[in-house]
Amino acid sequence: MADLDLTELHGALTDRALNSMNFLNEVAQHYPNAISLAAGRPAEQFYAVEDLHSYLDTFCDYLRDELGYDEAAVRRTIFQYGRTKGIVHQLVARNLLADEDITVDPEALVVTVGCQEAMVLALRALRATPADVLLAVSPAYVGITGAARLLDLAVLPVAGGNGGVDFDDLVAVIKTARADGLRPRACYVMPDFANPSGLSLDLDTRQRLLDVAAEQDLLLLEDNPYGLFPAEGIERLPTLKALDTERRVIYLGSFAKTALPGARVGYVVADQVVAHPDGTTSLLADELSKIKSMLTVNTSAIGQAMIGGKLLQHDCSLVAANERERATYAENLRALTEGLAARFPGGEVSWNVPSGGFFLVVTVPFVVDDALLAKSAQEYGVLWTPMSHFYDGDTPIHALRLSCSSVTPAEIEPALDRLAALIRDQL
């Protein structure tokens, strides 16, 4: 006998965004022998448990030697409830300066339970009434859509086009929304090696996006989990936040790919100034901190110590710390694109060649849905992600996402053979 009825629980629970992750995980669990070109997790061959012991000790030494804490204060910092905005904020600020040329007041940072909580904090603050809407460059990371669903925040897709953002569509979406009485608060965008498209914005597009955001009085939510992983010979471009002179960008940071996912530590740079009715002001980070105090109280001090320790061991730069990982992803991405070229010389199957990151998109002349993924897993032994999971609505999508981050070069060849067999059988 049932105790509750799903239709009487929050509507997000029946939404595609919240169920697609579950579906994709379940497929992977049901077919453990299938090679996965689906998982977006980082490479794990360089992890070592001893490093965690070392990170913890390094962070405790920092508390003692650099911050001057006595042993009681060290213990208190690691074991107790702590500062809502985090305890590695100074190190994160150094990291942003070293790796991204972003100068940020550590007080404008909130250290979060992964980047996902950073998204939730920003969206919760910005969604004041049902008229508030979020824009998201499409196809969009399912985590932003899911976070918005939890907060009953509508997401309006903006076409990505070939350059990563279709500015005509962006302005049209804003104008239509305003004409409908809606209030576009921000536009979510992943300018570097985006998940799922693999696309990056060139420098002109970045600058123009900032200009349009200023003209339209819109905030930008910049998500940058993959920026440190350019392909071979590719120069990294400045982030929107590095180019932002007007505090237009809320920057969502992740250490999952550049340090380790198991710490669950991310952050948000929220240096916007908030005017209060009494004439005082605060940083948006302090407002987000109030929300955080009621979501998770604070980010695990032990998780933060791991990230802090890793940062300290690499002079707060994760570029050099990820040289092996960067080379791994670049090699895998090349193997994927070259392998596709060798198998599909014809032209009816096409794909993009990203300049870095974890993902590329293969376009095929047939609809790619969950049923086809299940068939691929069961009959062909290869997993990938239907691009339909990254679009709202029911429009059939003729594309799939391949990930290069957690396979070995030796797995890529048979995986592509299996994918090619599936595609040929569908044609």
Sites for a copy of itself among residues 219-258 (CB under 8 A): 246-247, 256
Looking at 49-57, 188-196, 221-229, 416-424, which segment touches a copy of itself (CB under 8 A)?
49-57
Q: Is 209 in the site for a copy of itself (CB under 8 A)?
A: no
- Quick one: which segment of 159-167, 189-197, 287-295, 342-350 binds a copy of itself (CB under 8 A)? 287-295
Pick the binder of a copy of itself from 86, 139, 146, 357 (CB under 8 A).
146
Among 85, 89, 94, 149, indicate the residue that binds a copy of itself (CB under 8 A).
149
How many residues touch a copy of itself under the rule CB under 8 A: the total is: 85
Give the pairing type, strands 382-383 and 35-36.
parallel
Nearer to a copy of itself, 153 or 228 (CB): 153
Other residues' Cβ atoms within 10 Å of the Cβ of residue 114: 20
DSSP state at residue 404: -
- For residue 407, give every residue at least 6 positions away whose Cβ sits within 8 Å of its Cβ, in sequence order, or none: 35, 36, 37, 332, 415
127 vs 206, which CB is nearer to a copy of itself? 127
Residue 67 binds a copy of itself (CB under 8 A): no
Residue 292 CA to residue 88 CA, distance in Å, equals 16
- Name 386's Cβ contacts closer than 8 Å, sequence gap at least 6: 368, 369, 370, 372, 373, 397, 400, 401
Q: How far is CA 324 from the centre of its chain?
A: 21
Q: What residues from 335 to 374 belong to the interface with a copy of itself (CB under 8 A)?
A: none
Please, which residues have CB within 8 angstroms of residue 235's CB and are 6 or more apart in sequence? none
Per CB under 8 A, does 81 bind a copy of itself? yes
Q: Which of 277, 346, 393, 396 binds a copy of itself (CB under 8 A)?
A: 277
**Does residue 276 belong to the site contacting a copy of itself (CB under 8 A)?**
yes
List all residues 6 or more positions away from 198 whose beta carbon is below 8 Å from its beta carbon: 352, 354, 357, 359, 360, 361
Find out whether 160 and 173 touch, Cβ atoms under 8 Å.
no
CB within 8 Å of 212: residues ≥ 6 apart: 167, 170, 171, 218
Task: Closer to a copy of itself by CB, 256 or 364: give it.
Answer: 256
DSSP assignments along 80-91, one per residue: S---TT-S-HHH
Tell the smallest beta-carbon distance from residue 104 to a copy of itself (Å).
15
Stretch that binds a copy of itself, among 133-141, 201-209, 285-293, 384-392 (CB under 8 A): 285-293
Site for a copy of itself in 25-44 (CB under 8 A): 41-42, 44
Binding mask 304-323 for a copy of itself (x = CB under 8 A): --x-----------------
d(CA 401, CA 195): 9
Dist. CA 326–CA 35, nearest whole Å: 22
Q: Do the beta carbons of residue 392 and residue 188 sit within 8 Å?
A: no
4-12, 171-179, 203-211, 344-352 -> range binding a copy of itself (CB under 8 A): 4-12
Using the contact rule CB under 8 A, the part of the chain among 236-244, 301-309, 382-390, 411-419 near a copy of itself is 301-309
Residue of 127, 389, 401, 418 that binds a copy of itself (CB under 8 A): 127
Interface residues for a copy of itself in 176-205 (CB under 8 A)? none
76 belongs to the binding site for a copy of itself (CB under 8 A): yes
